[in-house]
Amino acid sequence: MSATADDRRPAPPDIRARKGGVPLVALTAYTTPMARLVDAHCDIALVGDSVGMVLHGLPSTLGVTMEMMILHGQAVARGLTRALLVIDMPFGSYEEDPAQAFRNAARLMAETGAAAVKLEGGAHMAGTVAFLTARGVPVMGHVGLTPQAVHQLGGYRVQGRGQDADRVRRDAAAVAEAGAFAVVLEKVPDALAREITEGLPVPTIGIGASAACDGQVLVVDDMLGMFTGFRPKFVRRYGELGAEADRAIAAYAADVRARRFPAPEHVFAAEAGK
C-alpha cells in the first residue's frame, strides 16, 4: 500500500520528502482497471508514453500524441484515490521552448487531473524544468536512457559507462537543481546510480538502475508478463499473465468450435427466472 503516513494522496513535495526513506513504489498504468490495481499498492501511478508501444503497437514512443496521453491520463485518473498521478509529456510537446512546454504541461494537468508531468532530458532541459516549476507545474525528471532520443542515442543502450558517466551525473544534477521533485534514472550502471542517488537532494527512481535508488518504476505489462517474448534484463516478472491469457483464449476457442460453450448453465430458458 502507499507508504504515506495518513494514507492520503501524496503530493510532489511528499514524494520529495521521501528522499532516503522507505523506497517509493511506482508503476505505469494506462487504463482505469489497471489504475485501480496500481493504486492499492503504489505511491506513484505513471501514465507513461510507453502506452504507444504497450497498447497501440507503435515501434517507439515517438508517435505518441498529446491526445493519446490525455485520453489515457483521464482513464487512469478515474481509477486512483491514493497514488500520485504523473503523466509523461510526449515527444515534440516540450522541446521547442519553455513556453511551448508550459502550454502543453498545463493542458495535460488541466484535462487529466495529473499532479505532475515527467519530461526527458538533462542539462539542456534544465531551463525548461525551472520555467515550469516556477509557474506551478511540478516536474519529474528523466535522465540516462531517454527513449524519446532513441535515434540520437543509437538504440536502447545502457547509458553512463566509462567517460559517459560524467554526462549522466551532470544531467541528473542539472534537473534536480532546476527544481525537479524526483529524477528517473533509466538503464544506467548500478555504481553510477548509487553515486547519483547519494549526491542528489531529491529522490531517484530507478528503472534498470540500482536497488540503492530511492524508488523503482517498471512498465506494469512487463512486470506482469503480458508479453510472452519480451524479457528486458532489468525487469523481474512477478506474473506470467500473457501465457495464462493465451491458454484461456485457446480453451475458449476450442470450446466454441466443439460447441461446449455456451453450456446449459450459460443460456436462458423460455420461462422467466430460469
Domains belonging to the chain, first-starting first, are: 12-240 (3.20.20.60)
User: What is the structure's pLDDT at 94?
Assistant: 98
Q: What is the spatial distance between Cα 3 and Cα 95, in angstroms, rounded to a whole number?
A: 34
User: What is the structure's pLDDT at 7?
Assistant: 64
User: What is the structure's pLDDT at 8?
Assistant: 77
Catalytic: which of 67, 96, 111, 186? 186
Binding site: what residues are annotated?
Answer: 49-50, 88, 118, 120
Q: Give the chain's radius of gyration (CA, Å).
A: 21
Stretches where the chain sits below pLDDT 50 are 1-5
User: What is the structure's pLDDT at 215?
Assistant: 98
User: What is the structure's pLDDT at 271?
Assistant: 86
User: What is the structure's pLDDT at 5?
Assistant: 44
Cis peptide before 262 (omega within 30 of 0): yes
Q: What is the pTM of this model?
A: 0.94
User: What is the structure's pLDDT at 247?
Assistant: 97
Phi-psi sector, 131: left (phi>0), alpha (psi -120 to 50), beta: alpha
184 phi/psi in degrees, rounded to 5: -80, 130
Q: Are strands 84-88 and 44-47 parallel, antiparallel or unpaired?
A: parallel
Judge whether 156 and 91 are in contact, CB under 8 Å. Answer: no
Judge whether 61 and 147 are in contact, CB under 8 Å. Answer: yes
64 phi/psi in degrees, rounded to 5: -70, 140
Whether residue 111 lies in the annotated active site: no
Q: What is the spatial distance between Cα 182 and Cα 100, in angstroms, rounded to a whole number?
A: 22
Judge whether 205 and 19 are in contact, CB under 8 Å. Answer: no
